[in-house]
C-alpha cells in the first residue's frame, strides 16, 4: 500500500538537483535512500541521513562556513569533529541554538542554519523541548567506542559486570569510521555488546565532566537528529549522572595544525578529517590538494584521496627523511617534497594556491594551484577527562605532545588517548584495560576477538609548531580566537611565561572549542619564542564541561512548578477553591489572604481582621512545626532547651516558650503541651521545624546522651485550625457538645481531648491574636471535614477564613514578635521585652551564661517597641530607619533602629509599626523621625502592646 501510494505521488514541479557534486557515487556510511533538505545561509541544499551539516555542505561544494571573530577573515570547515574551530554555526530552526560545530550537527530534514561571525545568539522564546537526567551506576564505564573503547567493552562484556559504553557519535567505530577499516569487527562487537543485558551502550553521548569518586556526567543528544519529527514526550537531551567503579578512557586523539602564513583560508583542513569525509560521508572535499605533514599519519589520507580521484600535487613533509610511507606515496605517483614546508597560501573565499619552500626558509620555491591543503602537525591525546579526574599529564618528547601520566582515581587510559596511535597497540591496550577493570572487581573477563591488524611502517614524527613565512602574513595558532604567532610573541615579549598567563593575555584556547586543535600548538609556539622547553611549560588546567552543555540540559526537569518542591497542607485545595492568594513560607504555600470580588489586599485584610476581633474567623495553621518529645527525662530536656521552666507544666496545660542559642539570642518560639508525665508536644515556627529538631538531636546525641528522651517529628501528623474571635466559643461549643467550653472549665493555656464535628481532636486554648481563640488539632485525613463543619457552624456569625497577613496584623497589635521577622539573631528575649520568659530559678539552660555578658546588659540595646506615625494614615515601609532629629545631620547619620513590621490596623483605625530601637523602652512617648521617600516623618514611640493591653478579650 505504502509503495503504491509513493508511486502515485506526482513528481515535484522542479526536479530536485542530485545532491552534492562533491559526493562520491558510492561508499560512505550515509543512507542514500533518505535524502534530506536543509538550508544554510538562506540557500537550500540536499544531503542524506547520516550526514553532518559539515559533510553535507562539503558535498554541496560549500566549504566557507563563517568569518572569524576579530579579523572577519573567511573561514572554512577545518575538521570533521567536535574539535572544529571555524565552522561554528547558528541553528535557526526547528529551535534556535547558538554556536554548534557543524561537523557535530547531525543533518535532519528541515534544518535551518547560518554561519556566524564568531558569536551566536540565544533564543528569545522559551524552549518547548523536554530535558531530563538519569542516574546510572556501573562496574565499568568506557568512554569512547573507537577501537580501544570497543576492545575494552568487549573484554568486559559477558563477565556479569555492569558496563556502560558511552560514545559521542551516532554509531560506534571512532577513528575506524574515518579510515574505513575493520568495520565488520565494529559491527560484530557492537552486536555482541547488545546481547549482554548488563551492557548499556549510549550513543550520541558526550561524557563532559569527571568528578571525585568516579562520578562522571554525560549529555545524551536523544532527539536533536530527528528535527521536527522528534517525539514531544521524549527528552531532547539527557544528562547522565554516572557513578562508575572503574573507568576506561578511550577518548582518542585530535590532530593539530601548524602555524604557517595564511594558514586559515577555507580549503585548509586537517588531513585525517579529509579522510573521514571521504570514507564516512563519501565526500571529496577538493579536486587538487597539497598535503603538509610532520608525521606518517597524513600519508594514508593522501593515498586514499588520490585513489578517490583527488589530484595530490605534492606531499610536503618537514622531515628530511620521511621513510617508508614516502616511498609508498612515490610508488603511487605522488610527489614527496622531503624537508619542505608550506610557507603561505593564496585565495580569498577559497584557497587557490599554496607556496612551498625548504623547511626553515621563508622564500617560496614552489607554488601549487590547489583548492585543498591538508595539514597534519601531529596528534594530541584527548586527555581532558583524565586531567579533570585529577590525573597528571607528561610531555612525550617522541610524540611531541602531552600524554596521560599518573591517575588519582580508578581510571585507565587506552589507545590514542594514551598516546598509542598505532591501531594494534590501541586495541591491545583497550582489551587489557577492560579486562583489568572487571577482574579487579571479581569478574572473569573474556578474551575479546580483535581484528588482525597488519604492521605499518613507522618513521618518528618531527616536532614542528611554526613555519617561517612571508613577512606580514598572519600565522594563526587559535583559529576560533584569531590568535596568531605574533600575538603570542607579544605576550612573551611582555614577560609572560606561564601558559595560564599567555592564555589569558591572548585568549588562545578560550573559545567554544577550548583550543582542541590549538592548545598544544600554542604551547609549542610559546616555547619556541623564548627558547623554553615545551615539556616544562605544561598545559592549562582542563575543567568541565568538555564541550559546551546547554543550561536547558543541566536544568533538566527542574523547571516551572518542579523547580522547587511546593509543600501544601491537607486544606490546600479548599484555599485554592476559595480564592486564596498564597504566601511562600519556606517551601510551604500558606494562604496569604482571601480577597473577595473587587477587594485589594488592604481591604481584604482589614475585613479579615475585623471578623477575628468582632465575630469569628479561622485559619489553617497546619504548617507549624510539631515535635513529639517522649521519655522520662523529657521535662529536664525541655528545661535545658527553653529559657523558661517546662518541667513544672501540668498534664493538660500549655506553656509558651522561647529557645535561644548559646549566645542568648532568640532562635525559635512556640508552645509546649504536656500530654503525659513523660510526653510533651512542642510546636515550632513554620520555617524552623527541621532546624529545631536537628538542634534537639544535636544536644541529645553530643552533650546529653544520658537523657532518656526521643524526639519525633509529627508536623504532618496533625492538621491545625485556629478558631479566633469572641464568637469562637459558640462555634466550637456547637460542634463539640461533649466539651465543656466555659472559661472556668476550659481555661486559657489548657488543652482537651474532644470530639469536634464527630472528629477526634485535641483542642488547645491558645491565642496569637489576643482574642478568645482555640487551636483544633485533628488528623489531616479529616481536616477538610473539620474545616467545612466549622465553616458551616460559623456561618451565622459570619465566620471568615483568614490568611497569614491578617495573622501578622493581629499579633502585631498585641506586640507578639515573629521570630525571623522582628528578630534577626541579634535579639535577646529581654530585648523583646520578655524578661518574664527567662527563668531566674533554673540552674542552667542554653543561653543563660550569655545574659551575664556586658554586651547583653548594655542599656542602649535595641528594644522591640511600637511606632505610631503622627499622620495615622502614613504607612512606614518595613526596613525604614529611625533618626532622632527632624533635620538630617551630615553623614554619618546616627541610626537609632529600624522598622521590623508595619501594618494598617482595623482595630486601631490607623497605621502602626513594630521596630527595634536603641534604648526603645526608655523612649516610649518620644518623637523620632523616619525617612520615608524624600521626607522625614515624625513618629511616636509606644509600648508594643497597642491593642487590649489589659488582656480583657482573651477569655471572650
Partner 1 sequence: MADTARTARQRSPLAHAAHRLAAATRASKGAIRLAELPLLAQVNVRLDAKSPAADAVGLALGLQLPLEPNTVVHAGEVTVVWLGPDEWLVVGRPGTQRALEERIRAAAGDEHVSVTDVSAQRTTLLVGGPRARDLLAHGCSLDLHPRAFGPGRSAQTMLARAHVVLVAREEPRAGFWVLVRSSFAGYLTDWLLDAAVEYR
d(CA 876, CA 910): 12
Q: Write down the least CB distance from residue 162 to partner 1, Å.
A: 7
d(CA 215, CA 347): 49
Q: Write down the least CB distance from residue 711 to partner 1, Å.
A: 9
Q: Write down the least CB distance from residue 411 to partner 1, Å.
A: 19
d(CA 489, CA 527): 10
**Angle at Cα 73 formed by Cα 71 and Cα 79, nearest 5°?**
120
Which is it for strands 199-202 and 163-166: parallel, antiparallel or unpaired?
A: parallel
In which residue are the cell numbers 553623614 written?
891
Sheet of strand 759-764, all strands in order from the earlier edge strand to the far edge = 751-756, 759-764, 773-778, 719-724, 617-620, 800-801
By CB under 8 A, name the binding residues for partner 1: 130, 132-137, 162, 233-235, 241, 243, 557-558, 561-562, 564-570, 572-573, 588, 623, 628, 630-632, 708, 710, 712-718, 758-759, 779-782, 784-785
List beta partners, residue 588: 567, 585
Q: Write down the least CB distance from residue 651 to partner 1, Å.
A: 17
Q: Write down the least CB distance from residue 105 to partner 1, Å.
A: 24
**Alpha helix (H) residue ranges in 581-633:** 601-614
Closer of 421 and 588 to partner 1 (Cβ): 588
Closer of 771 and 782 to partner 1 (Cβ): 782
- DSSP 8-class letter at 359: T
Q: Write down the least CB distance from residue 717 to partner 1, Å.
A: 5
Closer of 581 and 675 to partner 1 (Cβ): 675
Closer of 632 and 677 to partner 1 (Cβ): 632
Closer of 533 and 706 to partner 1 (Cβ): 706
Contact 105, 90 (CB under 8 A): no
Q: Write down the least CB distance from residue 241 to partner 1, Å.
A: 7
Contact 543, 388 (CB under 8 A): yes
Closer of 397 and 788 to partner 1 (Cβ): 788
d(CA 640, CA 656): 15
d(CA 616, CA 786): 16
Q: Write down the least CB distance from residue 238 to partner 1, Å.
A: 9
Closer of 704 and 836 to partner 1 (Cβ): 704
d(CA 762, CA 755): 8
Q: Which H or E run contains 424?
A: helix 423-439
Residue 155 to residues 148, 165, 415, 429, Cα–Cα distance (Å): 11, 12, 15, 11
Residue 905 to residues 133, 606, 874, 902, Cα–Cα distance (Å): 50, 7, 12, 10
Q: Write down the least CB distance from residue 624 to partner 1, Å.
A: 12
Q: Write down the least CB distance from residue 132 to partner 1, Å.
A: 6
The CA-based diameter of the chain, rounded to the nearest angstrom, is 116
d(CA 757, CA 804): 25
Q: Write down the least CB distance from residue 708 to partner 1, Å.
A: 5
The beta-strand segments (E) located in 461-548 are 476-478, 483-484
Q: In angstroms, how far is CA 876 from the centroid of its own chain?
A: 40
Q: Write down the least CB distance from residue 680 to partner 1, Å.
A: 12
Closer of 127 and 716 to partner 1 (Cβ): 716
Residue 687 to residues 29, 293, 322, 700, 819, Cα–Cα distance (Å): 60, 68, 75, 22, 10
Cis amide bond preceding 892, omega within 30: yes
Closer of 714 and 749 to partner 1 (Cβ): 714
Q: Write down the least CB distance from residue 679 to partner 1, Å.
A: 8
Q: Which H or E run contains 53?
A: helix 53-59
Which is it for strands 131-143 and 237-249: parallel, antiparallel or unpaired?
A: parallel
For 303-340, give the DSSP string.
HHHHHTT-EEEEEEESSS---HHHHHHHHTT--EEETE
Q: Write down the least CB distance from residue 463 to partner 1, Å.
A: 46
Q: Write down the least CB distance from residue 235 to partner 1, Å.
A: 6
Closer of 352 and 630 to partner 1 (Cβ): 630
Smallest CA-to-CA distance from 948 within 620, 617, 658, 726 is with 726
Q: Write down the least CB distance from residue 234 to partner 1, Å.
A: 6
Cell of 800: 471568615
The dihedrals phi and psi of 254, each to the nearest 5 degrees, come to -110, 140
Residue 151 to residues 63, 905, 940, Cα–Cα distance (Å): 35, 78, 83
In which residue are the cell numbers 494598617 written?
904
- Coil/strand/helix, residue 918: strand
Closer of 565 and 889 to partner 1 (Cβ): 565
Closer of 413 and 761 to partner 1 (Cβ): 761
d(CA 108, CA 95): 13
Closer of 407 and 556 to partner 1 (Cβ): 556
Closer of 133 and 479 to partner 1 (Cβ): 133
Closer of 384 and 590 to partner 1 (Cβ): 590
Q: Write down the least CB distance from residue 386 to partner 1, Å.
A: 24
Q: Write down the least CB distance from residue 719 to partner 1, Å.
A: 8
Cell of 514: 577550548
Closer of 546 and 680 to partner 1 (Cβ): 680
In 3-state terms the chain splits into helix, strand, coil percentages (rounded to 5) of 25, 30, 45
**Residue 418, number of CB atoms within 10 A of its CB:** 24
Closer of 269 and 580 to partner 1 (Cβ): 580
Closer of 213 and 597 to partner 1 (Cβ): 213
Residues counted in the chain: 956
**Residue 99, number of CB atoms within 10 A of its CB:** 19
Amino acid at each position: 500500500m505504502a509503495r503504491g501510494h509513493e508511486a502515485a505521488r506526482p513528481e515535484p514541479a522542479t526536479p530536485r538537483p542530485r545532491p552534492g557534486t562533491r559526493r562520491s557515487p558510492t561508499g560512505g556510511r550515509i543512507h542514500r535512500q533518505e535524502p534530506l533538505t536543509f538550508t544554510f545561509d538562506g540557500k537550500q541544499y540536499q544531503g542524506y541521513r547520516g550526514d553532518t551539516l559539515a559533510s553535507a555542505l562539503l558535498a554541496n561544494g560549500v566549504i566557507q562556513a563563517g568569518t572569524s571573530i576579530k579579523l572577519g577573515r573567511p573561514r572554512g570547515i577545518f575538521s570533521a569533529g567536535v574539535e572544529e574551530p571555524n565552522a561554528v554555526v547558528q541553528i535557526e530552526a526547528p529551535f534556535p541554538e547558538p554556536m554548534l560545530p557543524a561537523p557535530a550537527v547531525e543533518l535532519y530534514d528541515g534544518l535551518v542554519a547560518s554561519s556566524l561571525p564568531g558569536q551566536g545568539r540565544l533564543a528569545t522564546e522559551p524552549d518547548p523541548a523536554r530535558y531530563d537526567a538519569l542516574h546510572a551506576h556501573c562496574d565499568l564505564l568506557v568512554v569512547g567506542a573507537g577501537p580501544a573503547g570497543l576492545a575494552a567493552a568487549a573484554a568486559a562484556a559477558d563477565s556479569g559486570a555492569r558496563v556502560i559504553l558511552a560514545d559521542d557519535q551516532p554509531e560506534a567505530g571512532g577513528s575506524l569510521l574515518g579510515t574505513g577499516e575493520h568495520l565488520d569487527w565494529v559491527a560484530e562487537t557492537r552486536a555482541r555488546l547488545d546481547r549482554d543485558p548488563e551492557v548499556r551502550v549510549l550513543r550520541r553521548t558526550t561524557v563532559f565532566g569527571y568528578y571525585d569518586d568516579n562520578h562522571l556526567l554525560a549529555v545524551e543528544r536523544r532527539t536533536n537528529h530527528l528535527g521536527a519529527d522528534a517525539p514531544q514526550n521524549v527528552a531532547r537531551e539527557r544528562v547522565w549522572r554516572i557513578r562508575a567503579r572503574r573507568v576506561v578512557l578511550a577518548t582518542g586523539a585530535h590532530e593539530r595544525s601548524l602555524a604557517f602564513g595564511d594558514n586559515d583560508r577555507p580549503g585548509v583542513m586537517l588531513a585525517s578529517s579529509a579522510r573521514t569525509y571521504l570514507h564516512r560521508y563519501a565526500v571529496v572535499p577538493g579536486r587538487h590538494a597539497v598535503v603538509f605533514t610532520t608525521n606518517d599519519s597524513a600519508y594514508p589520507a593522501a593515498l586514499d584521496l588520490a585513489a578517490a580521484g583527488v589530484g595530490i600535487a605534492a606531499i610536503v613533509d618537514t622531515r628530511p627523511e620521511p621513510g617508508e610511507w614516502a616511498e609508498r606515496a612515490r610508488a603511487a605517483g605522488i610527489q614527496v617534497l622531503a624537508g619542505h614546508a608550506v610557507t603561505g597560501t593564496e585565495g580569498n573565499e577559497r584557497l587557490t594556491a599554496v607556496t612551498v619552500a625548504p623547511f626553515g626558509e621563508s622564500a617560496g620555491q614552489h607554488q601549487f594551484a590547489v583548492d585543498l591543503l591538508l595539514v597534519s602537525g601531529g596528534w594530541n591525546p584527548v586527555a581532558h577527562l583524565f586531567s579533570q579526574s585529577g590525573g597528571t599529564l607528561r610531555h612525550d618528547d617522541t610524540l611531541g605532545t602531552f600524554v596521560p601520566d599518573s591517575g588519582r582515581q580508578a581510571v585507565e587510559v587506552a589507545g590514542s588517548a594514551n598516546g598509542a596511535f598505532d591501531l594494534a597497540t590501541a586495541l591491545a591496550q583497550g582489551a587489557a584495560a577492560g579486562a583489568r577493570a572487571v577482574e579487579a572487581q571479581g569478574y572473569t573477563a573474556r578474551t575479546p576477538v580483535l581484528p588482525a591488524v597488519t604492521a605499518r611502517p613507522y618513521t618518528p614524527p618531527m616536532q614542528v609548531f611554526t613555519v617561517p613565512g612571508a613577512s606580514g602574513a598572519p600565522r594563526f595558532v587559535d583559529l576560533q580566537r584569531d590568535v596568531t604567532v605574533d600575538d603570542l610573541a607579544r605576550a612573551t615579549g611582555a614577560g609572560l611565561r606561564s601558559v595560564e598567563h599567555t592564555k589569558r593575555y591572548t585568549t588562545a584556547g578560550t573559545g567554544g572549542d577550548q583550543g582542541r586543535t590549538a592548545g598544544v600548538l600554542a604551547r609549542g609556539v610559546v616555547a619556541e619564542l623564548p627558547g623554553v622547553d615545551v615539556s616544562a611549560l605544561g598545559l592549562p588546567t582542563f575543567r568541565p564541561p568538555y564541550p559546551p552543555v546547554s543550561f536547558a540540559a543541566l536544568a533538566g526537569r527542574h523547571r516551572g512548578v518542579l523547580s522547587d518542591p511546593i509543600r501544601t497542607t491537607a486544606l490546600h485545595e479548599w484555599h485554592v477553591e476559595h480564592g486564596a492568594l498564597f504566601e511562600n513560607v519556606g517551601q510551604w504555600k500558606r494562604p496569604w489572604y482571601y480577597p473577595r470580588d473587587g477587594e485589594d489586599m488592604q481591604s481584604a485584610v482589614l475585613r479579615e481582621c475585623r471578623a477575628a476581633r468582632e465575630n469569628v474567623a479561622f485559619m489553617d495553621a497546619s504548617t507549624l512545626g510539631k515535635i513529639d518529645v517522649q521519655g522520662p527525662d523529657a521535662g529536664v530536656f525541655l528545661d535545658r532547651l527553653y529559657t523558661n521552666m517546662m518541667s513544672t507544666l501540668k498534664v493538660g496545660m500549655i506553656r509558651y516558650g522561647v529557645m535561644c542559642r548559646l549566645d542568648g539570642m532568640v532562635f525559635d518560639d512556640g508552645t509546649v503541651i504536656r500530654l503525659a508525665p513523660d510526653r510533651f508536644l512542642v510546636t515550632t515556627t513554620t520555617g524552623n521545624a527541621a532546624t529545631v529538631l536537628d538542634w534537639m538531636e544535636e544536644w541529645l546525641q553530643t552533650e546529653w546522651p544520658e537523657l532518656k528522651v526521643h524526639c519525633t517529628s509529627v508536623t504532618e501528623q496533625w492538621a491545625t485550625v485556629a478558631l479566633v474571635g469572641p464568637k469562637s466559643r459558640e462555634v466550637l461549643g456547637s460542634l463539640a457538645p461533649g466539651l465543656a467550653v466555659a472559661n472556668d472549665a476550659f481555661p486559657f493555656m489548657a488543652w482537651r481531648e474532644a470530639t469536634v464535628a464527630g472528629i477526634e481532636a485535641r483542642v488547645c486554648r491558645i491565642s496569637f491574636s489576643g482574642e478568645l481563640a482555640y487551636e483544633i488539632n485533628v488528623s489531616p485525613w479529616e481536616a477538610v471535614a473539620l474545616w467545612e463543619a466549622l465553616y458551616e457552624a460559623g456561618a451565622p456569625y459570619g465566620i471568615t477564613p483568614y490568611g497569614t497577613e491578617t495573622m501578622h496584623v493581629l499579633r502585631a497589635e498585641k506586640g507578639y514578635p515573629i521570630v525571623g521577622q522582628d528578630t534577626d539573631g541579634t535579639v535577646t528575649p529581654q530585648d523583646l521585652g520578655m524578661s518574664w520568659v527567662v527563668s531566674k530559678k533554673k540552674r542552667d539552660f542554653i543561653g543563660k551564661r550569655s545574659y551575664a555578658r556586658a554586651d547583653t546588659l548594655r542599656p542602649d540595646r535595641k528594644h522591640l517597641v511600637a511606632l505610631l506615625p503622627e499622620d495615622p494614615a502614613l504607612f512606614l515601609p518595613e526596613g525604614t530607619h529611625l533618626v532622632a532629629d527632624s533635620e538630617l545631620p551630615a553623614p554619618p547619620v546616627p541610626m537609632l533602629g529600624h522598622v521590623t513590621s508595619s501594618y494598617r490596623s482595623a482595630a486601631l483605625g490607623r497605621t502602626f509599626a513594630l521596630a527595634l530601637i536603641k534604648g526603645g523602652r526608655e523612649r516610649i512617648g518620644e518623637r523620632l523621625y523616619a525617612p520615608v521617600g524624600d521626607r522625614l516623618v515624625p513618629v511616636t514611640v509606644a509600648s508594643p502592646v497597642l491593642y487590649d493591653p489589659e488582656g480583657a478579650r482573651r477569655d471572650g
